[in-house]
């Protein structure tokens, strides 16, 4: 059997994503000559192998016909040619070992390689970063279509997404004795050119002082 040719044995759905990634990487390492030969044996490949082979041939813009002459060409460096597909993309930040294990189990079940933390650990047991500071989980860009399904069922128990602080207005204080025991009396309209501006009239319950302002408390 020629290099890259595989029998049509069934592939489990849970392993399909990982198998497609493996085949895609395998065909990327072949030169044009090998792909042209393999393309002529396409019916002997599995469905996943045919898909990966078609994608690679299309990416290289190879014109495959029965009479296509086979010429060995020097292969370009993989790090440049496939940099976009191999680029790591963050899919989540985990804040506990239990959440990390849950996400690892889901990714493993889908056959998707992943990396955790700055150390690029391939398993929770190899992570040296501190989970209480958040550990980034990344996958290769080519795996994103399968990751979307994984993230639909991922349910983190320790989600620490930063929330905007709640803004509370400063309390209304008496400008004379600074007491917060003030009573709203009424709205006092004031003419400002042709635009009416409403003011608030207050009375301090502690010292009896009365004043008018715009109703916004002044912080100390």
What tokens does 62 get? 């190879």
What tokens does 61 get? 């813009």
Mean pLDDT of 141-168: 77
Which of 2-16, 64-78, 201-215 is predicted most confidently? 201-215
**pLDDT score of 39:** 79
User: Which position has the higher pLDDT, 15 or 23?
Assistant: 23
CB burial of 120-137 (b: ≥16 within 10 Å; e: otherwise) equals ebeebeebeeebeeebbb
Residue position matching structure tokens 């047991």: 125
DSSP class of residue 219 equals: P
Kindly report which listed range (91-95, 99-103, 196-200) carries the lowest average pLDDT score: 196-200
**pLDDT score of 10:** 43
CA 148 to chain centre: 10
157-190: pLDDT as tens digits:
887 765 555 556 677 888 888 888 888 777 776 6
Mean pLDDT of 42-67: 76
State yes or no: pLDDT of 150 exceeds 80: yes
**pLDDT score of 98:** 92
25-51: pLDDT as tens digits:
888 888 877 777 777 777 777 877 887
> What predicted TM-score, i.e. pTM, was given to this entire model?
0.43
DSSP class of residue 13 equals: H
Using alpha carbons, select from 111, 181, 123, 94 the residue that is nearest to residue 150: 111
């Amino acid at each position: 059997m020629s290099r890259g040719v595989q029998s049509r044995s069934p592939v489990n759905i849970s392993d399909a994503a990982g198998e497609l990634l493996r085949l895609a990487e395998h065909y990327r390492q072949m030169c044009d000559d090998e792909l042209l030969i393999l393309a002529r044996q396409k019916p002997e490949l599995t469905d996943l192998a045919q898909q990966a082979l078609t994608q690679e041939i299309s990416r290289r813009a190879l014109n495959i016909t029965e009479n296509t002459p086979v010429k060995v060409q020097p292969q370009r460096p993989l790090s440049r040619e496939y940099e976009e597909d191999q680029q790591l993309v963050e899919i989540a930040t985990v804040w506990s070992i239990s959440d990390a294990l849950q996400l690892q189990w889901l990714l493993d079940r889908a056959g998707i390689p992943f990396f955790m933390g700055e150390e690029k650990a391939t398993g929770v047991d190899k992570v040296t970063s501190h989970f209480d500071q958040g550990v980034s989980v990344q996958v290769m860009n080519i795996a994103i279509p399968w990751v979307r399904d994984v993230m639909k069922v991922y349910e983190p128990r320790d989600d620490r997404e930063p929330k905007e602080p709640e803004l509370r207005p400063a309390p209304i204080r008496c400008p004379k004795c600074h007491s917060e025991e003030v009573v709203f009396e009424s709205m006092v309209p004031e003419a400002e050119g042709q635009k009416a501006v409403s003011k608030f009239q207050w009375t301090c319950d502690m010292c009896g002082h009365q004043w008018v302002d715009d109703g916004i408390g002044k912080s100390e």
